[in-house]
């Protein structure tokens, strides 16, 4: 658990993930510590160099030498990023940490590639409950005598702050565990933090971001608990009005701590947005450097494929993370007509031959099948069977130089569409467009064949002795 000195300020940091990877900076909120971000550390450690900080004045980081402000936090963390990275970072911020993330994106745009914001405070004006019930205690903590009074009251009346804060923090049907709840409350009432809590309460109000969101260049995923009674949903309305490019998601049965209250839904959204594997068996499995390179290579390749037409790089990375590459030798069967379809394929290398029985499977034999077409890199196949999970209409066989294909599982694509509505819509549009073009081409082929047949029949009709035989396409 190292402590780094950044411009004379010590910052306690929890680290995970291999050095040299892109930095993911995790920033907690008001009255908290790095532990507020702990449900996401293992997930993000799969492909990032994770730095989960204790902001100055919280956890094990000493407070700033002067009064705390959000821009000070943002500038200090920007210096931390440059210490560990030679490129832009991904920011994951909760509550006040979300405000700090957006402030950094406004003040230091080149340092921020993307953001994930969990219940971020935007206006700095917290809920009426916080302002009416909690803020009087916070105001007392701003001064030495008041802090002593609060501390004494806390010890004398066991759990008073828990009864005050629980309805502000968590949903009625919250999924948070008792162990996590106790740890979060310990952070919130850590001795010696009264002054910085009071300073941050006013710092958030002074750093109202409304009217500035349109200037944010970095894309963002914003996750909000539907029952958040700390940072009210009216702040989500500000995002909807001023920052329409932000991907805003509202989670039921979650309050101000969706990463603890709805952990599976939160992790799925974050994994989808950051291009991490979505399957449950890989959600916490480290991704080695070779696989990271492969994901980036596939994302670049998909730019020239049917399935990813008009997708941006971030969307292609999310899609690439769900692809399973498979390599086949010449003549090896990739999928047969006897198999039910649950996968869609994109040709990655080599060619894929499509063999079909013109008389149907009931009377056809393997030797009777005919080569229909050759699919080259970027082409998509298998989508019909994947949609209805019925039998395939043709055999897919590796071509003369073999083939590498990208397999996309039906359930993974469905999960991706559910978690990222914009990407899902474009993905389905691309699949539908490719299917339409294929059907149009088949109709054109049939029309051409019909025209040639009519022409041959007309020739035979005019010259019955003509011995030329019609050769179908």
- 441: pLDDT strictly greater than 90: no
The top-level CATH class assigned to 289-425 is mainly beta
Calculate helix-pair angle for 421-462, 410-419, nearest 10 degrees. Answer: 130
Strand partners, 325: 406
Grouping H, G, I as helix, E, B as strand and the rest as coil, residue 55 is coil
Residues 186-209 have a mean pLDDT of 86
The Cα 90–Cα 321 span in angstroms is: 17
Average pLDDT rounded to a whole number, residues 59-72: 95
Q: List the chain domain ranges.
A: 3-282, 289-425
Q: What tokens does 5 get?
A: 């000195």
CA distance 441 to 443: 5
Is there a contact between 376 and 350 (Cβ–Cβ < 8 Å)? no
Tally helices (H) and strands (E) across the chain.
Answer: 17, 14
Strands 9-16 and 3-6: antiparallel
Is residue 86's pLDDT more than 90?
no
For residue 273, how many other CB atoms are within 10 A of its CB? Answer: 25
pLDDT tens for 324-371 read 999 999 999 998 887 777 888 999 999 999 887 655 544 344 456 788
Residue range 373-409, pLDDT digits in tens: 888 898 888 887 777 777 777 889 999 989 999 999 8
- pLDDT of 464 > 80? The answer is no
pLDDT in tens, 237-270: 999 999 988 999 999 989 999 999 999 899 988 9
Highest averaged pLDDT of the listed ranges 14-23, 148-157, 333-342, 432-441 = 14-23
Cα angle 322, 220, 73; round to 5: 125
Q: Which two tokens stand for residue 16?
A: 């995970």
> Could you give the percent of the chain with pLDDT greater than 90?
40
pLDDT at 215: 95
3-282 and 289-425: identical CATH topology: no
The architecture in CATH of the region 3-282 reads 3-Layer(aba) Sandwich (3.40)
């Amino acid at each position: 658990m190292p402590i780094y000195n950044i411009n004379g300020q010590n910052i306690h940091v929890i680290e995970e993930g291999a050095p040299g990877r892109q930095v993911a900076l995790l920033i907690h909120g008001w009255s908290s510590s790095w532990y507020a971000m702990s449900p996401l550390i293992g997930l993000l450690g799969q492909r990032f160099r994770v730095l989960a900080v204790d902001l100055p004045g919280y956890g094990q980081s000493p407070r700033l030498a002067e009064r705390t402000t959000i821009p000070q936090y943002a500038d200090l963390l920007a210096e931390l990023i440059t210490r560990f990275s030679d490129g832009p970072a991904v920011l994951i911020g909760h509550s006040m940490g979300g405000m700090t993330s957006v402030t950094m994106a406004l003040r230091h745009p080149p340092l921020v590639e993307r953001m994930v914001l969990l219940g971020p405070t935007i206006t700095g004006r917290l809920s009426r409950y916080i302002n009416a019930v909690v803020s009087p205690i916070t105001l007392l903590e701003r001064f030495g005598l008041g802090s002593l009074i609060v501390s004494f009251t806390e010890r004398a009346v066991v759990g008073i702050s828990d009864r005050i804060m629980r309805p502000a923090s968590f949903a009625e049907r919250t999924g948070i565990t008792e162990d996590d709840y106790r740890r979060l409350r310990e952070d919130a009432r850590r001795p010696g933090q009264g002054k910085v809590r009071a300073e941050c309460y006013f710092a958030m109000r002074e750093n109202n971001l409304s009217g500035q969101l349109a200037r944010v260049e970095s894309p963002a995923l914003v996750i909000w608990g539907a029952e958040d009674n700390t940072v009210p949903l009216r702040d989500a309305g500000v995002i909807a009005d001023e920052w329409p490019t932000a991907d805003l998601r509202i989670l039921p049965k979650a309050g101000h701590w969706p990463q603890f209250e709805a952990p599976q839904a939160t992790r799925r959204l974050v994994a989808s947005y950051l291009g991490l594997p979505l399957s449950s068996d890989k959600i916490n499995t480290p991704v080695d450097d070779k696989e990271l390179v492969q994901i980036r290579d596939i994302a670049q390749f998909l730019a020239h494929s049917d399935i990813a037409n008009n997708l941006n790089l971030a969307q292609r990375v999310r899609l690439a993370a769900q692809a399973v590459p498979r390599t086949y030798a010449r003549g090896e069967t990739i999928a047969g007509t006897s198999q039910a379809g649950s996968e869609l394929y994109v040709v990655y290398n080599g060619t894929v031959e499509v063999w079909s029985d013109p008389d149907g499977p009931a009377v056809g034999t393997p030797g009777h099948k005919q080569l229909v077409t050759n699919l080259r890199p970027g082409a998509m196949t298998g989508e019909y069977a994947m949609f209805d999970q019925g039998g395939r209409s043709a055999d897919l066989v590796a071509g003369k130089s073999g083939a590498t294909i990208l397999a996309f599982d039906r359930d993974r694509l469905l999960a991706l569409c559910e978690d990222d509505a914009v990407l899902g819509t474009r993905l389905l549009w691309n699949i539908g467009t490719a299917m339409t073009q294929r059907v149009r081409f088949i109709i054109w082929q049939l029309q051409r064949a019909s025209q040639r047949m009519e022409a041959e029949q007309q020739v035979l009709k005019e010259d019955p002795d003509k011995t030329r035989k019609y050769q179908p396409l």
